Amino acid sequence: MMRPAIVSLGTVPTLGLCFVACLIEGADIVSMGLVAPVIARQFGFGPAEMGYVLTAAIVGLMVGAATGGMLGDRWGRRVVVIVAFAVLGLCSILTAHADSLTGFLLVRFLCGIGLGAALPNLIAIAAEAARPGRRATAIGLMFAGQPAGGSLLGLFVASRAGVLDWTSVFYIGGVLPLLLLPVLILALPEPEAFRDARSKQTGPRAPTLVALFGEGRAAMTLLMWASYGFTQVVVYLINNWLPTLMVAKGFSAQQAGAISSFENAGAVAGCIVLAMATDRGRVRPVLMVTYVGIVAGLFGLAMAQSFWPVVAIGIAVGFFVIGGQLILYTLAPSYYPILVRATGTGAAVSVGRLGGIFGPLAAGKLMAIGLAPAGVLIAAVPCALLAGLAAVSLTLRPLPAE
């Protein structure tokens, strides 16, 4: 029996716009990491200062996700996405003109706010554009743009090594969102399901705490936050430290970059394949396989010594780590009613970024005290196990009525 299309013909442009938006977001997310060594040399920043610069965007993303989700439920998803991309574009360009630690901290924090505010609303738009039973696949196809965008920018920068000035990376990261703005204004619709639900709403909007914890959602919200937070520890450890850890294992910088690129390719595949599996009504076994895969991948990266085995394991790690993150992004819209969907998703994304801050900082501390790369990777295993336990426990709870 043929399964229905992911979205109706009329909503294909909506999902396409969301994919392009995530593609641009993915490039912006990795931009600072790609040129951080050059900036550190030019401005004399030490590891601590660069750590603050890299963390500023994560803190901004945390703030942006929480506030952007609430504003999306209040003002509409479309408006928040448009404003978020305007902020992202302008502040990316301003990053190219920063000339002090304070300047970099400010503009990267604001870039993070733009990134964070857009994400829960893009997830909500994709979820609400999808046909019944195809929500995870729609979000997966959209979210695959993030690792794809990061990988494309990484390949572009690598191909222009020695020619491309670091400021060009941020001009690219700023111009692309601004070029997308007119298209978003003209072509991105407010989801019909959200418009209908808002038109039928009677009485005042529920306060944020009621949206998150009211009507029996307290345990569900806490499980959601735990799964997001512990998963993000692993996600950001891999995203920020994988090349450095591979160099510390004895690989060349070029080999480490290749391993990271293959990991991103696995991430794109994981987003699509695991989302499609989730839509077949098997979310619990998919989560179990995913988190077992994450644990096995961390041990594999820790133990493997030869290049091609590490590449193969890196692909699997990207598949399961980023794919696991994607499954969580598909769960949040399912567990929160439509009128508080962006608020709930944004809060979960925001709490997850606490793990995103902790993971890289903990890895840096462990490396500083002399722990070998294998030990750093294995140290992330308990976080993966706790995330998997919380996520599987979440699926035991009933979905709310739409």
Per-domain boundaries in the chain: 9-395
Tell me the C-alpha distance between 66 and 147, whole Å: 22
Q: Band the pLDDT of 201: cuts 50, 70, 90.
A: low
pLDDT of 206? 62
Q: Band the pLDDT of 9: cuts 50, 70, 90.
A: very low
CA 239 from chain centre, in angstroms, equals 10
165 sits in the region (left: phi over 0; alpha: psi -120 to 50; else beta) called beta
| Longest CA–CA separation in the chain, Å | 63
User: With pLDDT > 70 as the criterion, what percentage of the chain qualifies?
Assistant: 93
Tell me what the pLDDT averaged over the chain comes to: 85
| Cβ atoms 129, 11 nearer than 8 A | yes
Neighbours of 5 (CB within 10 A): 12
Residues across the chain: 402
Which fold does the domain 9-395 belong to in CATH?
Growth Hormone; Chain: A; (1.20.1250)
Please give the angle made by the CA atoms of 5, 7 and 12, to the nearest 5 degrees: 120
Which range, of 3-17, 43-57, 227-241, 318-332, averages the lowest pLDDT? 3-17
Strand, coil or helix: what is 300?
helix
pLDDT of 2? 47
| Tokens read off for 255 | 């080999």
